[in-house]
Every structure is written in structure tokens, then in C-alpha cells.
């Protein structure tokens, strides 16, 4: 079953109000995406993994993935597309502050795409259901870098620049090898399998009762 982005936000908020906090949803989302990535690669030990992180909760999922991938022995670099004090949400901030205590994960901020290594895997945690309008900097440069880099790419929830409701694309958008979306498929995503690559919808522990009155 495919749902609307509005329904997803309503379900998310109802689950949060039931006590299944967005922080827990984010943890399960990041963990599910990492499981699919590790399943695909067999193991990610000492793979160079570059995670682009937006300032919202799509980025937050990427921060959770960074912590889990460090646990699998990957060489993880996080590029935050802004400054830490501008991270939008409490749950994303919470995950950033954990990474600040983890020397095993390299943290970069500001959005430059000048890296001194070639990534084996890129994670697109730039934009998800919160996308609106033409892609602004530094998100645009990050999306262009991802498209110009030849390696395996995983999109968190949706390839950034693809509108998960309509299936329309912004002026620029990522083309990925795998997309892991959460809870239920959003209506626009399956319209662009050319951008999503292998597509998975992973449960993240939201109580089914959170859908009552919404679906
Ligand atoms: N639903 C669920 O159950 C769960 C959802 N989860 C995750 O949350 C995600 C939704 O998070 P979200 O609402 O924070 O929005 P998100 O996509 O991060 O973008 C907002 C940021 O992007 C920016 N921005 C927007 N447009 C832009 C543009 N054109 N060009 C440049 N920047 C632009 C915008 O900036 P602003 O407009 O505020 O200045 C803001 O900073 C969802 O996709 C999923 O991954 C999981 O945690 C698990 C549970
Ligand atoms: K994304």
C-alpha cells in the first residue's frame, strides 16, 4: 500500500504522541538502512563510506547510519550540509552529539565537496519528505558531487530532489543504486525506479494504532 507524505507526517506525529518518539523512529530507520547496505555488500569493513547529511530528519537518519556503520568497521565520513547549531530537530541534534564523542567517525561541516579520498559508498541523507522548491546551496553542490562520483549510492527514504508525493523531480536530484524508505511506501517514489534503484520499504516500529483515523 502506498500512502501520502501528509499521511506519513500524521502517522509519525501520532506515534510520537503515543510515546514512540521520533528519536526511536530515526534509530530504527537508520538501522534498517544499514542492514540493507551490509546485506548488499556482505561486509563493509574498512570501506570508505561518505554520508551527506541535511539539516532535517533525513539527515538525522544519516547520522544514525554513521554510528551503526562505524560499528561494522567501516571508515565513515559525515558531511553536514550546514553548521551544527543550525541542525533543525532535537532528534537529529541528539545523534550529532553522540557522533561528536566518536573519533571513529570523521565529522565535516559546511558542505564543501573537496574530499581527500574516493568513497566506495555514498549515503544520500540530504532531503526526504521535507523537500520544497529549487534545490538551494550547499545541497545543490552535494547532489551534483554525488551524481559525478562513480561509486555505490544509497538514498535515505528517497533520492534527494525527487518529491516522494508527486514523483516529480526538482531542478537537480540524485540517481542512486538503492533506496530504503520507512514505514510504508510513499506514492511518488515507485514512479522513478530509474532514480531509486533497488527499492525497500522497512518497518520502523511505529504502532499500527498510529494509523487509526489516518489510513
Ligand atoms: N516519517 C517518518 O515516519 C520518519 C521520517 N524520518 C525521516 O525524516 C525525513 C523528513 O524530515 P524533515 O521533515 O526534517 O524534512 P527533510 O526531508 O529532512 O528536509 C528538511 C530540510 O531540508 C531543507 N530543504 C527543504 N527543501 C530544500 C531545498 N529545495 N533546497 C535546500 N534545502 C531544502 C529544509 O531547510 P528549510 O526549508 O527548513 O530552510 C530542512 O532543513 C524523512 O524523509 C525521513 O528520512 C525518519 O527519521 C524516520 C521516521
Ligand atoms: K535522501
- Each of the 215 residues of the chain gets a pLDDT tens digit; together they read 899 999 999 999 999 999 999 999 999 999 999 999 999 999 999 999 999 999 999 999 999 999 999 999 999 999 999 999 999 999 999 999 999 999 999 999 999 999 999 999 999 999 999 999 999 999 999 999 999 999 999 999 999 999 999 999 999 999 999 999 999 999 999 999 999 999 999 999 999 999 999 99
> Atom 9 (ligand 1): residue with closest C-alpha?
58
Q: Does residue 46 fall inside a structural domain?
A: yes
Total domains, the chain: 1
What CATH number corresponds to the domain at position 108? 3.40.50.10260
Starting from the CA of residue 16, give the closest ligand: 1
Q: Does residue 95 fall inside a structural domain?
A: yes
201 lines ligand 1 (CB under 6 A): no
Q: Does residue 169 fall inside a structural domain?
A: yes
Q: Does residue 213 fall inside a structural domain?
A: no
60 lines ligand 1 (CB under 6 A): yes
Q: Does residue 152 fall inside a structural domain?
A: yes
**What is this model's ipTM?**
0.97
How many whole angstroms from 206 Cα to the centroid of ligand 1?
19
Question: Measuring CA to CA, how many Å separate 208 from each of 4, 12, 70, 165, 204?
Answer: 16, 11, 32, 22, 11
Phi, psi values for residue 52, rounded to 5°: -85, 130
User: Which among 153, 191, 207, 174 is positioned nearest to 20, based on CA atoms?
Assistant: 207
Q: Is 134 annotated as a binding residue?
A: yes
pLDDT at 37: 98
Q: pTM for the complete prediction?
A: 0.98
Q: Does residue 214 fall inside a structural domain?
A: no
54 lines ligand 1 (CB under 6 A): yes
Q: Is 130 annotated as a binding residue?
A: yes
Sign of CA dihedral 16, 109, 84, 54: negative
Count CB-CB contacts under 10 A for residue 140: 18
User: Which among 193, 190, 66 is positioned nearest to 122, based on CA atoms?
Assistant: 66
Range of the domain at 110: 5-207
How many whole angstroms from 82 Cα to the centroid of ligand 1?
14
Sign of CA dihedral 93, 2, 18, 132: positive
Q: Does residue 131 fall inside a structural domain?
A: yes
How many whole angstroms from 151 Cα to the centroid of ligand 1?
24
Q: Does residue 147 fall inside a structural domain?
A: yes
Contact 155, 174 (CB under 8 A): yes
pLDDT at 173: 98
CA 170 to ligand 1: nearest atom:
29
Amino acid at each position: 500500500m502506498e500512502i501520502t507524505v501528509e499521511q506519513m507526517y500524521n502517522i509519525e506525529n501520532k506515534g510520537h504522541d503515543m510515546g514512540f518518539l521520533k528519536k526511536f523512529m530515526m534509530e530504527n530507520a537508520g538501522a534498517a538502512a544499514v542492514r540493507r547496505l551490509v546485506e548488499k555488500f556482505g561486509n563493509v569493513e574498512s570501506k570508505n563510506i561518505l554520508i551527506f547529511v541535511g539539516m532535517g530528519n533525513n539527515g538525522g537518519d544519516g547520522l544514525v547510519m554513521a554510528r551503526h556503520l562505524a560499528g561494522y568497521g567501516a571508515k565513515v565520513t559525515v558531511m553536514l550540509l550546514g553548521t551544527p547549531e543550525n541542525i533543525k530537530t532535537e532528534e537529529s541534534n541528539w545523534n550529532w552529539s553522540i557522533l561528536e564523542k566518536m573519533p571513529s567517525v570523521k565529522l565535516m561541516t559546511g558542505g564543501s565537496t573537496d574530499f581527500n579520498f574516493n568513497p566506495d559508498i555514498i549515503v544520500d541523507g540530504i532531503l526526504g519528505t521535507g523537500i520544497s522548491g529549487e534545490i538551494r546551496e550547499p545541497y545543490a553542490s552535494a547532489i551534483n558531487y554525488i551524481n559525478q562520483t562513480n561509486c555505490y549510492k544509497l538514498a535515505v527514504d528517497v533520492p534527494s530532489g525527487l518529491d516522494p508525493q508527486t514523483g516529480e523531480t526538482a531542478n537537480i536530484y540524485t540517481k542512486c543504486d538503492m533506496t530504503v524508505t520507512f514505514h510504508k511506501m510513499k506514492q511518488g517514489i515507485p514512479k522513478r525506479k530509474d532514480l531509486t534503484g533497488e527499492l525497500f520499504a522497512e518497518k520502523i516500529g511505529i504502532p499500527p494504532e498510529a494509523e487509526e483515523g489516518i489510513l
